[in-house]
Chain A
Amino acid sequence: MKKITLFVNGIRRQVESDPDRSLLQVLREELDLTGAKYGCGEGQCGACTVLIGARARRSCVTMLSEAEGKQVTTIEGLAAEAPGATPGAGRLHPLQEAFLKAGAMQCGYCTPGMIMAGVAFLQRTSNPSDEEILRSMQGNVCRCGTYPRIVGAIREAGMVLRKDGKK
């Protein structure tokens, strides 16, 4: 057991835990941030995706110690992360909006992981081709098969983000 500090959704959090514990379990069970989901436990389905810094990480195979002192963003903190948004004001990230607009979900269980992976991708690829989206998202599984809609939502959010960036 060790005291470990991390910054989750902009808030400093200290947890007393085994540093080898998976970040997913800590987020879900210690911090009650259940947006990131368990889907496979082996980093194969992407349901547990969160951001560490700007990078998308599979939190189920990430040890707590790897997040020590780092900025961790989960789906719960995304709306507040939107450019120009005030925390708690309820303005969604453009990719969250795009998911709603495209109806890019059925059961929704993969959705938080899809959105976090998509956000990380759009941060490094502002004007992606469909081919780039597919390649980047290949590690995220949607068993309901909404892939074409998710691709459409990422494309749409990319356009919105570029427009916002030019303002």
Chain B
Amino acid sequence: MNDAFPGFSIEPERYELQPALSASSGLDRREFFEKFGAGILILLLLDETLVRGQESGTQTRGRFRQPLPQEIGAWLHIGEDGMVTVYTGKTEIGQNIRTSLTQVVSEELRVAPGSVRLVMADTGLTPFDAGTFGSQTTPVMAAHLRKVSAACRGVLLDKSAERLGVNRSSLTTADGQVVHAETGRRVKFGALAAGQKIVATVQGTEPVTPPAEWKIAGTSLAKVNGRDFVTGKHRYTSDLKLEKMLYGKVLRPSGFKARLASVDTAEAEKIPGVTVVRDGDFIGVAALTPELASAALKAIQAKWETEPQPSRVEIFEYLRSHSSTGRAAGAGSNTTGSVDQAFASADKKLSQTYTVAYIAHAPLEPRAALAEWKDSQLTVWTGTQRPFGVRSELAEALRIPEERVRVVVPDTGSGYGGKHTGDAAVEAARLARGAGKPVKLVWTREEEFTWAYFRPAGVIEIRSGVQRDGKITAWEFHNYNSGASAIRGLYDIANQKIEFHPSPSPLRQGSYRALAATANHFARETHMDELAVLVGLDPLEFRLRNLKDPRLRAVLEAAAKRFGWGSAKGGQGRGFGIAAGFEKGSYIATAAEVSMDAKGSVRVARAVSAFECGAVLNPDHLRNQIEGAMIQGLGGALFEAVDFADGRILNATFSKYRVPRFSDAPPLIDVVLLDRKDLPSSGAGETPIVGIAPAVGNAIFDATGMRLRSLPLAPAKLAAELYGLKQAADYTD
């Protein structure tokens, strides 16, 4: 990202700040082999200064009880059966990284993907990882795994050369074997690992295979454990069971910021098979069945003291007026040139305000956790994007050292940035400790909609000036509360002032797929459309006139071409819109066609996205992410909004909080991938969501002449306006 703006780095979202990378696995060498079995173990060190402190060369044999170095990026084990097991702290939440990471290992080691197994997100087994967010798996973890695999291949070649008494350079690897082409001799990886306890710490200097030569990476390998999902065999956290396990429920306050005034748990305690657990203000129950737990919870009499809080109707005014002074959105200056002077001398000027609502992630698997205490060791299985972060949360909340906590994350029923915290894990652990038995806790949908966190609401103000020929000369951008991600666009504007203003949020807010990039792109790309109208230029042409970045130009042009931009004119209830953006190292342009009926309901008839994220690891899974992001993004674009008043959520069910359904998906959805094998791969789970809202909003303008500046674009309000305009435009044809 910083390459685009030398000296200008976007600060992380406030709620994205993570503690510095520290802790190692805590395992020593002997424990490694006890856990993983005999074979060859390759550890990738992240910091080369640490390598120098190790023995010379890349191999260390049989030095048991020597603590492992910190800062290990990845480790990989080859067993006596030739199976390659890779350990990574990343979590699989539907982005299909279990598959893409398998592919890069398979590629570098020259083994079939079926011989590679990934152990993911288990603090007892995998290296430390800050979490699965920020689209970092592909650019960082895939790169680590390529390096550790290439290094492993090097070790296997060394050992084979020794064993066969030949020159290493005469050896190649294929199908899980080292091959000596001259003599046709072959050594299986498993045979090299048999009876061995080899640990090699490597720096990752062995050359990796360039993307242009990929045979397994870069192909559309199907989800590696897909069969487990279509047969119901895969066990999510909420599907797990332990012997003597109880079911938990937690007493929730009557609203946000409510304080417990009094509580009577006597009735609940009388129910056979129920344990009431109290730990400070935490009150919960553990019972033999989920129904019994619910009944016990109902039997608890609690009184809460509440305080008045801002409601949805006043939220934008509240965020705007309670914001702190604008601060530079990044380490560098927030100002280039002179916005005031440029604005004063511009041919045309525009000031507009845009808003975005709080929305919920609503992952289909609600938060869940299963906690077990055994000999003062705590193990918690939970769906989180930050297993090591949740381990710290557990240690702190339960006042035990981290070494006694293990967090295991089964492949999880999605997250979208909503599962960074360990709320359910901490609750289950408290209940399990109180009850003296394992406890499973699965949040209800209503709890998920209420006690999780939300994508921040925000207000964005833009003031701009443009020359008659379409050159933008002044750009001032203020984001209140929603965040700084992608706050600065790639348009080529000499005079800019960009500021982010934090506000106190009445609702608990946090990460969401693409963070504030969605809000900032919506405001920027809507404003760009308004400026194009102001100077009488086609929206695509106007963008290209203000854009030098070749990668963003490439996706804009590719999307326009596939869409057939400019081939039809909007109006009469049919309209076309386009938007482009850049975030987390990836480039996107989205074009949309909308049609509107007499009642003002919006149908997105067609959506095309062109996407570029460097060398593509798995084209089909990338398409799946982009299609899915567009469809999920339509929810926030058209109708998703958390409704709240005075500390309570008013639409905490799927019947009241509308999410995109089958009929909302555009009948024609198309993805153009620009595969740049010459560029490093970047992440793609988030960025594809940023283009759809402005593209649809701009298409609605094209269709109706009405400019909508709030997310969701609120078709209900639109309908009312359209009914009012019925004389002016006939949409019934």
Partners in one complex: yes
Q: Are A108 and B94 touching (Cβ within 8 A)?
A: yes
Tell me the residues in window 60-99 of chain A with beta carbons closer than 8 Å to chain B beta carbons.
74-76, 78-79, 92, 96, 99
Q: Are B364 and A79 touching (Cβ within 8 A)?
A: no
Q: Are B413 and A109 touching (Cβ within 8 A)?
A: yes
The answer to whether residues A38 and B230 also contact, given A109-B413, A138-B662 and a CB cut-off of 8 A, is no
Q: Are B94 and A107 touching (Cβ within 8 A)?
A: yes
Contact among B231, B234, B291, B624 with A106 in the assembled complex (CB-CB below 8 Å): B624
- Main SS at interface, chain A: loop
In the assembled complex, A151 has its CB within 8 A of some CB on chain B: yes
In the assembled complex, A158 has its CB within 8 A of some CB on chain B: no
Nearest A residue to B656 via CB reads: A44
Contact among A36, A109, A115, A130 with B230 in the assembled complex (CB-CB below 8 Å): A115
Nearest A residue to B654 via CB reads: A44
In the assembled complex, A18 has its CB within 8 A of some CB on chain B: yes
Contact among A76, A96, A140, A144 with B632 in the assembled complex (CB-CB below 8 Å): A144
Tell me the residues in window 104-146 of chain A with beta carbons closer than 8 Å to chain B beta carbons.
105-112, 115, 130, 133-135, 137-146
Contact among B94, B291, B655 with A18 in the assembled complex (CB-CB below 8 Å): B291
In the assembled complex, B720 has its CB within 8 A of some CB on chain A: no
In the assembled complex, B404 has its CB within 8 A of some CB on chain A: no
Taken residue by residue from 271 to 299, chain B's Cβ proximity to chain A (1 for < 8 Å, 0 otherwise) reads as 00000000000000000011100000000
Q: Are A103 and B624 touching (Cβ within 8 A)?
A: yes
Taken residue by residue from 154 to 177, chain B's Cβ proximity to chain A (1 for < 8 Å, 0 otherwise) reads as 000000000000000000000000
Min distance, Cβ A125 to any Cβ of chain B, angstroms: 15
In the assembled complex, B653 has its CB within 8 A of some CB on chain A: yes
Min distance, Cβ B264 to any Cβ of chain A, angstroms: 26
Q: Are A25 and B445 touching (Cβ within 8 A)?
A: no
Q: Are A29 and B631 touching (Cβ within 8 A)?
A: no
The answer to whether residues A108 and B444 also contact, given A103-B621, A141-B654 and a CB cut-off of 8 A, is no
Q: Are B289 and A145 touching (Cβ within 8 A)?
A: no
In the assembled complex, A147 has its CB within 8 A of some CB on chain B: yes
Tally of contact residues, B, Cβ under 8 A: 59
Q: Are B663 and A134 touching (Cβ within 8 A)?
A: yes
Q: Are A25 and B290 touching (Cβ within 8 A)?
A: yes
Q: Are B653 and A148 touching (Cβ within 8 A)?
A: no
In the assembled complex, A47 has its CB within 8 A of some CB on chain B: yes
In the assembled complex, A19 has its CB within 8 A of some CB on chain B: no
In the assembled complex, B468 has its CB within 8 A of some CB on chain A: no
Q: Are A107 and B93 touching (Cβ within 8 A)?
A: yes
Min distance, Cβ A128 to any Cβ of chain B, angstroms: 13
Which of B232, B361, B363, B627: most chain A Cβ within 10 A?
B232
Min distance, Cβ A145 to any Cβ of chain B, angstroms: 3
A18 proximity list for chain B (CB < 8 A): 291
Min distance, Cβ A22 to any Cβ of chain B, angstroms: 9
In the assembled complex, B222 has its CB within 8 A of some CB on chain A: yes
In the assembled complex, B629 has its CB within 8 A of some CB on chain A: yes
A110 proximity list for chain B (CB < 8 A): 364
The answer to whether residues A34 and B654 also contact, given A39-B445, A106-B624 and a CB cut-off of 8 A, is no
Q: Are A75 and B291 touching (Cβ within 8 A)?
A: no
Which of A35, A76, A107, A111: most chain B Cβ within 10 A?
A107
Q: Are A109 and B95 touching (Cβ within 8 A)?
A: no
B189 proximity list for chain A (CB < 8 A): none
The answer to whether residues A100 and B226 also contact, given A109-B413, A138-B661, A138-B663 and a CB cut-off of 8 A, is yes
Contact among B229, B412, B620 with A105 in the assembled complex (CB-CB below 8 Å): B229
Min distance, Cβ A96 to any Cβ of chain B, angstroms: 4
Min distance, Cβ B668 to any Cβ of chain A, angstroms: 9
The answer to whether residues A106 and B239 also contact, given A25-B291, A96-B231, A145-B628 and a CB cut-off of 8 A, is no
Q: Are A141 and B659 touching (Cβ within 8 A)?
A: yes
Q: Are A42 and B653 touching (Cβ within 8 A)?
A: yes
Q: Are A146 and B628 touching (Cβ within 8 A)?
A: yes
Contact among A106, A141, A148, A150 with B96 in the assembled complex (CB-CB below 8 Å): A106
Min distance, Cβ A151 to any Cβ of chain B, angstroms: 7
A37 proximity list for chain B (CB < 8 A): 236, 238-239, 364-365, 413
For the complex, what is the distance from the CA of A18 to the CA of B294, rounded to whole Å?
A: 15
Q: Are A106 and B94 touching (Cβ within 8 A)?
A: yes
A108 proximity list for chain B (CB < 8 A): 94, 229, 234, 411, 413
Nearest B residue to A116 via CB reads: B232
Min distance, Cβ B665 to any Cβ of chain A, angstroms: 4
For the complex, what is the distance from the CA of A79 to the CA of B228, rounded to whole Å?
A: 12
Q: Are B363 and A151 touching (Cβ within 8 A)?
A: no
Tell me the residues in window 460-485 of chain B with beta carbons closer than 8 Å to chain A beta carbons.
none
Contact among A44, A106, A137, A149 with B655 in the assembled complex (CB-CB below 8 Å): A44
Nearest A residue to B229 via CB reads: A108
A33 proximity list for chain B (CB < 8 A): 232
Contact among B223, B232, B442, B631 with A38 in the assembled complex (CB-CB below 8 Å): B442
A106 proximity list for chain B (CB < 8 A): 94-96, 414, 624-625, 628
B238 proximity list for chain A (CB < 8 A): 34, 37-38
Tell me the residues in window 390-425 of chain B with beta carbons closer than 8 Å to chain A beta carbons.
411-414, 416
Q: Are B665 and A107 touching (Cβ within 8 A)?
A: no
The answer to whether residues A100 and B661 also contact, given A37-B364, A44-B654 and a CB cut-off of 8 A, is no
Which of A33, A99, A106: most chain B Cβ within 10 A?
A106
Min distance, Cβ A82 to any Cβ of chain B, angstroms: 12
Q: Are A147 and B414 touching (Cβ within 8 A)?
A: no
For the complex, what is the distance from the CA of A109 to the CA of B363, rounded to whole Å?
A: 9
B629 proximity list for chain A (CB < 8 A): 145
In the assembled complex, B366 has its CB within 8 A of some CB on chain A: yes
In the assembled complex, A40 has its CB within 8 A of some CB on chain B: yes
Min distance, Cβ B237 to any Cβ of chain A, angstroms: 11
For the complex, what is the distance from the CA of A105 to the CA of B291, rounded to whole Å?
A: 31
Q: Are A140 and B231 touching (Cβ within 8 A)?
A: no
In the assembled complex, B717 has its CB within 8 A of some CB on chain A: no
For the complex, what is the distance from the CA of A18 to the CA of B624, rounded to whole Å?
A: 43
Tell me the residues in window 147-167 of chain A with beta carbons closer than 8 Å to chain B beta carbons.
147-151
For the complex, what is the distance from the CA of A37 to the CA of B445, rounded to whole Å?
A: 12
Nearest A residue to B228 via CB reads: A108
A21 proximity list for chain B (CB < 8 A): 291
Contact among B233, B291, B364 with A143 in the assembled complex (CB-CB below 8 Å): B364
Q: Are B222 and A100 touching (Cβ within 8 A)?
A: yes
For the complex, what is the distance from the CA of A150 to the CA of B95, rounded to whole Å?
A: 17
Taken residue by residue from 424 to 462, chain B's Cβ proximity to chain A (1 for < 8 Å, 0 otherwise) reads as 000000000000000000101100000000000000000
Q: Are B222 and A109 touching (Cβ within 8 A)?
A: no
Q: Are B223 and A40 touching (Cβ within 8 A)?
A: no
For the complex, what is the distance from the CA of A143 to the CA of B513, rounded to whole Å?
A: 12
For the complex, what is the distance from the CA of A47 to the CA of B412, rounded to whole Å?
A: 15
Taken residue by residue from 23 to 67, chain A's Cβ proximity to chain B (1 for < 8 Å, 0 otherwise) reads as 001001100111111111110110100000000000000000000
Q: Are B621 and A34 touching (Cβ within 8 A)?
A: no
In the assembled complex, B130 has its CB within 8 A of some CB on chain A: no
B663 proximity list for chain A (CB < 8 A): 134-135, 138
Q: Are B444 and A143 touching (Cβ within 8 A)?
A: no
Q: Are A111 and B94 touching (Cβ within 8 A)?
A: no
Show the binding face of B for A, using Cβ within 8 Å: 93-96, 220, 222-223, 226-227, 229-236, 238-239, 241, 289-291, 361-366, 411-414, 416, 442, 444-445, 620-621, 624-625, 627-632, 653-655, 659-665, 667, 669
The 10 A-B pairs with the shortest beta carbon distances in the complex, nearest first, are A35-B232, A107-B94, A145-B631, A109-B413, A108-B229, A145-B628, A75-B232, A106-B94, A34-B239, A44-B654
Given contacts A37-B239, A39-B445, 18 further A-B contacts (CB under 8 A): A29-B289, A33-B232, A34-B232, A36-B232, A75-B230, A79-B231, A92-B230, A100-B226, A100-B230, A103-B222, A105-B223, A106-B624, A107-B412, A109-B413, A141-B364, A142-B364, A143-B363, A143-B364
9 A-B contacts (beta carbon < 8 Å): A29-B290, A42-B653, A76-B231, A106-B94, A106-B95, A107-B364, A107-B413, A143-B364, A147-B665
